[in-house]
Structure 1
Amino acid sequence: MASKYDGLARIIIQNVGGKSNIKSITHCITRLRFKLKDESKANTDILKNTDGIVTVIQSGGQYQVVIGNHVPDVYDVVCEHAGISGAAPVADDGPAEKMSPGAALIDIISGVFQPLLSVLCAAGIIKGLLAVWSFVASSSFGIDVTTSGAYEIWNAVGDGFFYFLPIILGYTAAKKFKCSEFIGMALGVGLTYPNMVALKSAEVLGTVFAGTSFSMDYMTDFFGIPVIMPASGYTQSVVPVVLAVYIAAKLEKFFKKRIPDVIKTFIVPLCVLGIMMPLTYLVIGPIATVICNCLTLVFGGLYNIPVVGGIIAGALIGALWQVLVIFGLHWGLVPLAMINYGTLGYDFILSPYFCVSFAQSAVVLGMILKTKDKKLKDIAIPAFISGLFGVTEPCIYGITLPKKTPFVISCIGGAAGGIITAVAGVKSYTMGGLGLFGLPCYIDPNTNSLYSMIWVIISILVAAAVAFILTMVTYKDEAPAAKKEVSSSASVNGEVLVAPVKGEVKPLTEVSDAAFSSEAMGKGIAIVPVEGKVYAPADGTITAFFATGHAIGITTDKGAEVIIHVGMDTVQLEGKGFTPVAKQGDKVKRGDLLLEFDIDLIKEAGYSTETPIVITNSGKYSDIIPTDAASVENGNELITLL
């Protein structure tokens, strides 16, 4: 079934370098995130100026096309037209792209977390709503709803998702590192296995790093080697399973090359899991725990500096969060929050970011009230509503960032709110919804304390007030640009070509001849004809008419150079089945009959009837947009040249 996003999807695929240039594609809340073989092949300027695309960001080894809230629908159509299954990488025909260590780390983190982000938010919202229910029931009616069946059932998925997070991350990490997904999940299962989790309450056999911040007890051993685990075990953990799957992927490749095919199916997983499970508990887990403790000590140390630490940390996160999001670098901080949820039961490091979306929204509200530009208002009103619910990309890319000063003001507002959040010691208790949906995450589920949520609301009001007032004081509509007169001789005319052949439409990149599908001859489209007649696609001159009759070249009156090639390799027929009606040098009008051909004869001879219509001077145009229609009649609009 045709989609209203067909045209946009085709434009995106064409201007990221074609489907052959796509290694993989995922999406988050507002962006399509491509991994391209060669980013230089992408037409970034064209994409940025395409209706339906907010902007394009190149960061962290990803080519990010910002769409907006409807990105899942566009993603599905892009995957369909590109013939790829999203995040599953297509066959790689070249060496992996080299990244800096920082870019590689961001790429790994985002690649592991993005696929589960929407469900992670949903689980967090469920936990938050349960906390609200528990608070209202206990404070207003003296009822403990946490023992009710309804609470337990909803909590099973809300809390259970985070409890068994290593299993889910094992799956996404395996896809990222191109390992068996079931090996990744099995490692996650091993880290959350009830008997291993129960060890944290067993009798202590010994302690390592005693007397330090890294002190860890052990309750069992592996052939005499202490099994050291954090006090909370590895449920809700992030780093251990990701590191374990990374190494498991290397091991799996090693064994696949050396184990005979007849026993490879079960012996490879046996070897990998047999080695990796002890290795994870003995080496990877303790190392990951030490690394996480170091990170927490660094950030915790900053926060623990009385007043000054909170001011610095809150201001930095509040002011810079949107900048980090623009470049996708916020993924580097997300695991810190996940680590804290697993070890402390709450997070304080990222709390200052929460007020930022409200500061951004307040700036847009100020602009709505001050602007007299109807077009700006039409864009800003839905962006403002979206921002209240935490999706600020329409605000940022469509409104504030292009105008620069409003974006800076939103960062100032974010810093003001972030300082209050940090100094007050606000804690979030789960990773949940965005914007207004995220407020319940700041209710303590153990004590029903509203302390953190109250201070978050105060920080939101302060951030929004600062941003709104500064916008009302400083914002002015830009003076309309003076109109420039352009001589007709200097103008570049667009043109619409109509279908020269009746039949089924297919992308040029899908035809069977590589010379056409590679677009080496130019961009265009193909038609599988159902009628053996070729008509002129525009007014122009026939500049080439091959003696065999199978191909026609036309230069239109507006300068487009068009080739219509009937069938693949039909030159081999030496003119059989082709009856020219016009000749080279003729002036023709759109719709004039140029050629008749015998479809059945071509098929019986074993040749494809796919008929490419190619613009050989494609470089002259800023964009070449093929029709979205699945089939065309003679004279239907086929290609728009911009």
Structure 2
Amino acid sequence: MKYEKLAKDIIANVGGKENVNSLTHCITRLRFKLKDESKANTEVLKNMDGVVTVVKSGGQYQVVIGNHVPDVYADVVSIGGFSTASENAEKEKLSPLNAFIDIVSGVFQPVLGVLCATGMIKGLNAVLVATKLLEDTSSTYMVLNAIGDCLFYFFPIFLGFTAAKKFKLNQFTGMAIGASLVYPTITGIAGQTLDFIGIPMVMPASGYSSTVIPIILAIYIASKAEKIFKKIIPDVVKAFLVPFFTLLIVVPLTFMAIGPVATWASNLLGDVTMSIYNFSPLVAGIFLGGFWQVFVMFGLHWGLVPIAMNNLAILGGDPVLAPTVAVCFAQTGVVMGIMMKTKNKKLRSLCIPSVISGFFGVTEPAIYGITLPKKKPFILSCIVGAVTGGIIGFFRTTGYMVGGLGIFALPSYISPSGIDKGFYGMLIAMVVGLVLGCITMFVIYKDDEKEYGLKNENKDSIKSTELISKEVLVSPVKGEVLPLEMVKDEVFSKGLLGKGIAIEPSEGKVVSPVDGVITTLFPTYHAIGITSDNGAEILIHIGMDTVQLNGKGFTPKIAQGDKVKAGQLLLEFNINAIKEAGFSVTTPVIITNSDNYLDVIETDKKEIECKEELIKVMI
């Protein structure tokens, strides 16, 4: 570990790991929530090599490190055995819906890139076949199909790995559970009722390939079982006996419990849907279109497949699944609206492949990567889906064959006697879903500034007329103005502690640049931290390496915790004495929380007097 010693010293001086409730980090600082702040050795931490300062704010004990804080954070977490920020978030009290969304989106986040890629490859393959550039019997088609289908077919294995990480289960145990669900022999007996040591196991008709909820539930149960086994199994045999008992119990339990429940729920959904359709195709269309994505997430949609297959075989056509076909366009339209409205590059980069695959009926990247985590877009996609389903139900659209998805589903809805109103109903529903989803989402969508660091990312695109307000800092020192790049200390010159400016003093006085509070006064008096009344955190660092003077040449006029006014004298220092001791007096003035602001604009003056405008902070 690169920062092992520093991490150990920090843990010891915040009162030990038993004094830490939680730990997160931001751009420059470790943010502790301590049980008892009085147990922390604040002055020791402030003077520790590798620590800039300590700030107590908003119930947090903040140890300022600098730009390399993620590496220090990783070592502190590892040595202290603390939960990570995401793990702490899991402990927060969430509503059942929010908890479910948090789990599902957390499980899918690591595989989003591959999910988008395979969905696009499936779409590409469908295009090549539809345009007759490729035969679906060719080896090229089979290879492309294998690439496009690999993740979806073996979804339980991939999700077994990511869900295990989410629930803190051994990740290879999670993969083994997922692999058992798609084991060829198990897949081959889908739809059958078997038994395990005399206990019946009902296998879903479709098996567990491409399913989501069964594996997540299985991993959750496994994580609880593993914890129990770790407590009772001796250390010397834990490595193999813990996964042995976990797999031996959880896999059969998954087949015995999840299989029957999924089969029962699917059959119930099929019966309910047929009853609604017999009562009113319009109502059935709204019901199926609105809830289709939810049914798919829980694997309940398979209850409709046997009904659809029976209708095709007996009646020559099926109207039951038709209302679900245009839902992918509702989802795709919503994502298009986000893509067109968002100013966040990272989010837009996720939207583009999700839209492409969505046109071909593959909406998993859109759902799990974008709309479901944001909740409102997912709800809107369900509402628009209900509209498309209602349109299809109204036109009594019927499918006459098992065909493709997305735009390639259209040929399946051409009647043997030719194009009829049912086909037009499907076409209208697809267009309405895409346009209505896109326009509605575009109108109501707003970027969440807490995500992806949007304030910084978007600042260049914000017009000056949109700036809410600004805070002006006056110069604390008289002298020559220098850019930070000229400071002979890379912590300052590279902006590791924040944006700002430097001054080569011509007078040994420091005044307050703002109205605020002295949050930090180093014992050596070489640096002062001020928090303005508007929240700007300012560091005034007199000279380079002047901490080694141990306060000689510095005369403070204030104390830590004092309330000060802009222009008030804070400190006097002896320029000649400091220089004679071999130290530079170049004084950086840094906004240490500059990432919280739209911009930090420095003066263009070459010389400046005390109390003249030095920096504008755009809020």
TM-score (norm 2): 0.53
Counterpart of 1:166 (choices 156, 162, 185) is 156
Contact 2:159–2:215 (CA under 8 A) maintained in structure 1: yes
What's the offset of the Cα at 1:270? Answer: 1.1
Q: Are positions 1:186 and 2:205 aligned together?
A: no
Partner of 2:114: 119
Contact 1:421–1:459 (CA under 8 A) maintained in structure 2: yes
May I ask how many residue pairs the two structures share in their alignment? 454
Partner of 1:156: 146
Partner of 2:302: 340
- After TM superposition, list the pairs within 5 Å mapping 1:17-166 onto structure 2: 89-90=84-85, 96-137=91-132, 145-166=135-156
CA distance, structure 1, for counterparts of residue 392 and residue 117 of structure 2: 24
Partner of 1:514: none
What's the offset of the Cα at 1:456? Answer: 4.3
Partner of 1:254: 228
Q: Kindly tell me: are residues 537 and 626 of structure 1, through their superposed partners in 2, closer, same or farther at Cα, counting changes over 3 Å?
A: farther
What's the offset of the Cα at 1:96? Answer: 1.9
Secondary structure of 1:494's aligned partner:
strand
**Paired letter, 1:112:** V
Partner of 1:550: 526
**Paired letter, 1:270:** F
Partner of 2:407: 439
- Residue deviations 1:428-455 (CA, integer Å, cap 9, x gap): 98998xxxxx52466769x999999975
Structure 1 unaligned residues grouped into runs of 5+: 1-12, 22-40, 43-76, 201-215, 322-329, 369-374, 377-381, 393-408, 433-437, 471-490, 512-524, 604-609
Contact 2:492–2:588 (CA under 8 A) maintained in structure 1: no
CA distance, structure 1, for counterparts of residue 437 and residue 201 of structure 2: 52
Q: Are positions 1:263 and 2:237 aligned together?
A: yes
Mean alpha-carbon deviation: is it higher for 249-258 or for 169-178? 169-178
- After TM superposition, list the pairs within 5 Å mapping 1:8-19 onto structure 2: none
Q: Kindly tell me: are residues 230 and 557 of structure 1, through their superposed partners in 2, closer, same or farther at Cα, counting changes over 3 Å?
A: closer
**Paired letter, 2:107:** V
Contact 1:431–1:441 (CA under 8 A) maintained in structure 2: yes
CA distance, structure 2, for counterparts of residue 18 and residue 453 of structure 1: 60
Counterpart of 1:504 (choices 458, 471, 490) is 490
Contact 2:517–2:531 (CA under 8 A) maintained in structure 1: yes
Contact 1:174–1:180 (CA under 8 A) maintained in structure 2: yes
Secondary structure of 1:227's aligned partner:
strand
Partner of 2:390: 419
Q: Kindly tell me: are residues 309 and 578 of structure 1, through their superposed partners in 2, closer, same or farther at Cα, counting changes over 3 Å?
A: same
Contact 2:273–2:284 (CA under 8 A) maintained in structure 1: no
What's the offset of the Cα at 1:151? Answer: 0.7
What's the offset of the Cα at 1:641? Answer: 5.0
CA distance, structure 2, for counterparts of residue 174 and residue 362 of structure 1: 32
**Paired letter, 1:424:** T
CA distance, structure 2, for counterparts of residue 299 and residue 157 of structure 1: 35
CA distance, structure 1, for counterparts of residue 524 and residue 615 of structure 2: 26
- After TM superposition, list the pairs within 5 Å mapping 1:531-546 onto structure 2: none
Counterpart of 2:427 (choices 457, 471, 474) is 457
Partner of 2:214: 240
Partner of 1:204: none
What's the offset of the Cα at 1:425? Answer: 5.1
- After TM superposition, list the pairs within 5 Å mapping 1:306-455 onto structure 2: 306-313=280-287, 317=290, 332=294, 334-336=296-298, 339-340=301-302, 350-356=324-330, 417-422=388-393, 423-424=396-397, 438-440=406-408
**Paired letter, 1:131:** A
CA distance, structure 2, for counterparts of residue 410 and residue 239 of structure 1: 20
Counterpart of 2:165 (choices 175, 181, 206) is 175
Contact 1:123–1:159 (CA under 8 A) maintained in structure 2: yes
CA distance, structure 1, for counterparts of residue 236 and residue 554 of structure 2: 61
User: How large is the Cα RMSD of the aligned pairs?
Assistant: 6.7
Secondary structure of 1:280's aligned partner:
helix
CA distance, structure 1, for counterparts of residue 114 and residue 391 of structure 2: 30
What's the offset of the Cα at 1:153? Answer: 0.6
Partner of 1:494: 471
What's the offset of the Cα at 1:155? Answer: 0.9
Contact 1:352–1:418 (CA under 8 A) maintained in structure 2: yes
Q: Kindly tell me: are residues 559 and 461 of structure 1, through their superposed partners in 2, closer, same or farther at Cα, counting changes over 3 Å?
A: closer
Contact 2:189–2:203 (CA under 8 A) maintained in structure 1: no
Contact 2:204–2:263 (CA under 8 A) maintained in structure 1: yes
Mean alpha-carbon deviation: is it higher for 354-363 or for 447-456? 447-456
Secondary structure of 1:145's aligned partner:
coil
**Paired letter, 2:526:** H
Contact 1:352–1:417 (CA under 8 A) maintained in structure 2: yes
CA distance, structure 1, for counterparts of residue 90 and residue 337 of structure 2: 45
Secondary structure of 2:617's aligned partner:
strand
Partner of 1:63: none
Contact 2:499–2:600 (CA under 8 A) maintained in structure 1: no
Q: Kindly tell me: are residues 410 and 581 of structure 1, through their superposed partners in 2, closer, same or farther at Cα, counting changes over 3 Å?
A: same
CA distance, structure 2, for counterparts of residue 595 and residue 171 of structure 1: 62
What's the offset of the Cα at 1:246? Answer: 1.2
Structure 2 unaligned residues grouped into runs of 5+: 1-24, 34-57, 60-66, 76-82, 310-320, 343-347, 364-379, 441-467, 476-481, 559-563
- Residue deviations 1:249-281 (CA, integer Å, cap 9, x gap): 100111112222222222211110121222222
CA distance, structure 1, for counterparts of residue 597 and residue 243 of structure 2: 49
Contact 1:426–1:456 (CA under 8 A) maintained in structure 2: no
CA distance, structure 2, for counterparts of residue 557 and residue 96 of structure 1: 33
**Paired letter, 2:168:** K
What's the offset of the Cα at 1:612? Answer: 9.4
**Paired letter, 1:549:** Y
